[in-house]
């Protein structure tokens, strides 16, 4: 596996750890991946539930929580630390400003097009910007808008295919359509990124359902410079979620995986269970909205409060929550260390390369 550059920052292992919220990828997991040479990523979703510095002020607690997680990560690693910030978050601007002010190395931003992301950069900021898209069309829109409005182009583009965990940028009927597969998307986005090569080299990172070293090699050969992997790092000792949450990955099978309609307004891939069944029966409807965490969520029409459900799952209360997961997450069979996971990926990558 070769190193590559995002901007002027060298990434020694071509693996970006996916940002997983609520609380699944915090400083513990992010620093462990960064210490192996990859990019560790802190998810800022729902940090105000994990940190209660300011009583009854969720938005201030989110800012405090992101500062604390970045501080903790810096104590554990000298490697590259990114932050995942969903465009759909109601406090998106606060989280972006905080990540830049606290000198996060990279912001990864999806769940909507981050069309104004460069506007938050300051003259002295060194934070790199990487939009997460699900099509070449979306990549072009972002590049053109950023270039026209801010004279800035992405430092990298993450292409998230329909096999990803969590929220998906596809319609339900597109998820199983081969023409929308990551194998089709990567060459298209690479071609789009190459149109701007006279101004900037934009590395393309493949994401969604990638679970082996052989997968990594395949997408690099399709033009990606590296991959983003999330689910593979959940059943690790360093993952920040509870042991009960991790055990769901180990105990589940492919038949437990399902596509749900999230209150965010997007389809999502998750492990089914008691809570999903209860929500489908109308038993989890929220009585109010104390957090107002998602721009597009109307609690009066929502089947459940997504941030509470994800927070409950993170804490291990699976009767009141559920686990998002990528298409191959059910393959997990034990708890490993991040070092062991990456060593296995390297061995698989090398074995696949030698077979060719």
pLDDT at 328: 96
pLDDT of 286 reads 81
3-state per-residue secondary structure call for 149-169: HHCCCCCCEEEECCCCCEECC
Over the Cα atoms of the chain, what is R_g?
19
Dihedrals phi, psi of 305, to nearest 5 degrees: -90, 110
Sheet with 166-167, edge to edge strand ranges: 166-167, 267-271, 257-261
Query: Residue 117: helix, strand or coil by DSSP?
Result: helix
pLDDT, averaged in runs of 10, over the chain (356 residues): 95 98 97 98 95 87 97 98 94 97 97 96 96 97 98 98 92 90 97 97 97 98 98 98 97 94 86 93 84 76 89 96 95 97 98 94
Please give the helix or strand (H or E) that residue 6 lies within, else none: strand 4-6
Nearest to 96 by CA among 73, 125, 71, 76: 125
Query: Strand 204-207 and strand 226-229: pairing?
Result: parallel
Q: Which pTM was predicted?
A: 0.95
Residue entry with tokens 């999502």: 268
Residue 336 has which token pair? 């490993």
Distance of CA 215 to the CA centre of its chain: 18
Domains, the chain, ranges and CATH? 4-240+331-355 (3.20.20.70), 243-320 (no CATH)
Give DSSP secondary structure letters for 70-83. HHHHHHH-SSEEEE
Nearest residue to 106 via CA among 7, 31, 223: 7
Q: How far apart are CA 27 and CA 68, in angstroms?
A: 9
The pLDDT, as a whole number, for residue 230 is 97
Which regions of 195-340 does DSSP assign to beta strands (E)?
204-207, 226-229, 257-261, 267-271
So what's the pLDDT on residue 294? 77
Which two tokens mark 340? 């062991």
Alpha carbons 292 and 299: distance in angstroms, whole number: 9
- Ranges of H-type helices in the chain: 27-35, 47-50, 58-76, 92-101, 136-150, 172-175, 182-194, 213-221, 243-251, 274-280, 306-315, 338-355
Helices 338-355 and 213-221: angle between axes, nearest 10 degrees: 60
- Take residue 59 and report the two structure tokens written for it: 């938005």
Query: Are 19 and 41 within 8 A, CB to CB?
Result: yes
What pLDDT does residue 52 have?
Answer: 87
Name the phi and psi angles at 181, rounded to 5.
-65, 155
């Amino acid at each position: 596996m070769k190193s590559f550059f995002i901007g002027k920052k060298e990434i020694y292992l071509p693996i970006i750890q996916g940002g997983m919220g609520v609380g699944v990828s915090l400083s513990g997991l992010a620093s462990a991946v960064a210490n192996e040479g990859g990019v560790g990523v802190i998810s800022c979703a729902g940090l105000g539930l994990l940190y209660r510095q300011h009583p009854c002020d969720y938005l201030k607690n989110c800012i405090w929580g992101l500062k604390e997680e970045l501080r903790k990560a810096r104590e554990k690693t000298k490697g590259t630390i990114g932050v995942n910030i969903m465009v759909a978050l109601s406090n998106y601007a606060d989280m972006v400003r905080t990540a830049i002010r606290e000198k996060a190395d990279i912001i990864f931003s999806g769940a909507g097009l981050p069309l104004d992301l460069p506007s938050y950069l300051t003259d002295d900021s060194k934070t790199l910007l990487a939009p997460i898209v699900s099509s070449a069309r979306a990549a072009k829109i972002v590049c053109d808008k950023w270039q026209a409005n801010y004279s800035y182009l992405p430092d990298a583009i993450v292409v998230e295919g329909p096999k990803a965990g969590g929220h998906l940028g596809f319609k339900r009927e597109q998820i199983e359509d081969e023409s929308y597969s990551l194998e089709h998307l990567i060459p298209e986005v690479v071609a789009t990124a190459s149109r701007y090569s006279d101004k900037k080299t934009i590395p393309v990172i493949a994401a969604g359902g990638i679970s082996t070293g052989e997968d990594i090699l395949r997408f690099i050969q399709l033009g990606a410079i590296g991959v983003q992997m999330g689910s593979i790092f959940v059943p690790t000792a360093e993952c920040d979620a509870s042991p009960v949450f991790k055990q769901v990955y180990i105990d589940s099978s492919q038949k437990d995986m399902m596509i749900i309609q999230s209150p965010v307004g997007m389809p999502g891939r998750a492990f089914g269970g008691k809570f999903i069944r209860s929500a489908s029966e109308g038993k989890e409807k929220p009585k109010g909205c104390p957090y107002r965490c998602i721009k597009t969520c109307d609690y009066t029409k929502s089947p459940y409060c997504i941030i509470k459900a994800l927070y409950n799952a993170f804490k291990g209360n699976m009767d009141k929550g559920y686990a998002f997961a990528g298409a191959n997450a059910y393959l997990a069979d034990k708890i490993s260390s991040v070092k062991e996971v990456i060593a296995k990926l390297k061995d698989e990558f090398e074995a696949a390369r030698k077979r060719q």
